């Protein structure tokens, strides 16, 4: 199965992708995580991407398409993937169509996580993740059961993203509306678009995601 999660920064794509990965054995392909790994490793792509990400702008379509195409060829993707953060432009969507056709794969569904812009700053500025296993948390909306201890792996170190600040959110939201939102009518036209209410509580969103998957 090939699923795309579409929504603005902070909509809940990563949170729900982690849950779908755990429950259904699909692999979460987060292009943001891949870029942050490249930045941390100091690769050429990472050095290039860091400047762009810190401005809240989008990394080039060529780089992103190459990263995803290579990743889809890895054996662990055989059982299906959740694309989290890709495609983000019309050019990336067109490239994805081509690459799926060339690899003999089919896009099953695109799930839009609908959210109001005015809640996203609070979502993003409160976001943090376990430094050991990457599980996502929120200062208010999703705390670990025991403060300071990751529910999943017991880790006690957490990290925050350098681009998760109120200034960058404005550019990231603009990039979403200008460059990514046009993908919604594109996928609607292909008959693969489904919607969930991204404003609901996290567990309710998860139930809606499950219902959307059942309908495929």
Contacts of 199 (CB under 8 A, 6+ apart): 114, 115, 116, 119
101 binds Zn ion (CB under 5 A): no
130 binds Zn ion (CB under 5 A): yes
**Catalytic residue at 127?**
yes
User: Rule CB under 5 A: which of 144-183 touch Zn ion?
Assistant: 150, 152-153, 155
143 binds Zn ion (CB under 5 A): no
Find how far residue 159's CA is from the centre of its chain: 17
Please say whether the beta carbons of 33 and 49 come within 8 A: no
CB of 199 to ligand ADP, least distance (A): 7
110 binds ligand ADP (CB under 6 A): no
**Does a cis peptide bond (omega within 30 degrees of 0) precede residue 203?**
no
Contacts of 201 (CB under 8 A, 6+ apart): none
User: Rule CB under 6 A: which of 124-163 touch ligand ADP?
Assistant: 126-127, 136-138, 141-142
For residue 126, give both structure tokens.
């409160």
* CA separation for the pair 154, 167 (Å, rounded): 32
Task: Using the minimum distance from each CB to ligand ADP, give the nearer residue, 12 or 130.
Answer: 12
State phi, psi for 56 to the nearest 5 degrees: 75, 25
**Catalytic residue at 172?**
yes
User: Rule CB under 6 A: which of 46-65 touch ligand ADP?
Assistant: 52-53, 56-59, 64
**Catalytic residue at 88?**
yes
28 binds ligand ADP (CB under 6 A): no
Please state at what angle helix 13-24 crosses helix 202-214, rounded to 10 degrees.
Answer: 60
CB of 138 to ligand ADP, least distance (A): 3
C-alpha angle 159-165-122 in degrees, rounded to nearest 5: 90
**Catalytic residue at 161?**
yes
32 binds ligand ADP (CB under 6 A): yes
* CA separation for the pair 125, 116 (Å, rounded): 16
* CA separation for the pair 191, 32 (Å, rounded): 27
Q: Which residues bind ligand ADP (CB under 6 A)?
A: 7, 9-15, 31-32, 35, 52-53, 56-59, 64, 85-86, 88, 92, 123, 126-127, 136-138, 141-142, 172, 200-202, 205
Q: Which residues bind Zn ion (CB under 5 A)?
A: 130, 132-133, 135, 150, 152-153, 155
Cite the active site residues.
13, 88, 127, 161, 172
């Amino acid at each position: 199965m090939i699923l795309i999660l579409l929504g603005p920064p902070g909509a809940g794509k990563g949170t729900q992708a982690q849950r779908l990965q755990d429950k259904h054995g699909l692999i979460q392909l987060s292009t943001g995580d891949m870029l942050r790994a490249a930045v941390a490793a100091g690769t050429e792509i990472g050095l290039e991407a860091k400047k762009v990400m810190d401005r809240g702008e989008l990394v080039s379509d060529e780089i992103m398409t190459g990263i995803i195409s290579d990743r889809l060829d890895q054996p662990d993707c055989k059982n299906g993937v959740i694309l989290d953060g890709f495609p983000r432009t019309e050019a990336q969507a067109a490239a994805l169509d081509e690459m799926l056709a060339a690899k003999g794969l089919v896009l099953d569904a695109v799930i839009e996580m609908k959210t109001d812009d005015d809640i996203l700053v609070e979502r993003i500025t409160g976001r943090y993740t376990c430094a050991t296993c990457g599980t996502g948390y929120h200062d208010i909306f999703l705390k670990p059961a025991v403060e300071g201890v990751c529910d999943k792996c017991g880790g006690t170190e957490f990290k925050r993203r350098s681009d998760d600040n109120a200034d960058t959110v404005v550019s990231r939201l603009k990039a979403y509306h200008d460059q990514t939102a046009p993908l919604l009518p594109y996928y609607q036209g292909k008959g693969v678009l489904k919607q969930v209410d991204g404003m609901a509580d996290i567990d309710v969103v998860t139930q809606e995601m499950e219902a959307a998957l059942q309908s495929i």
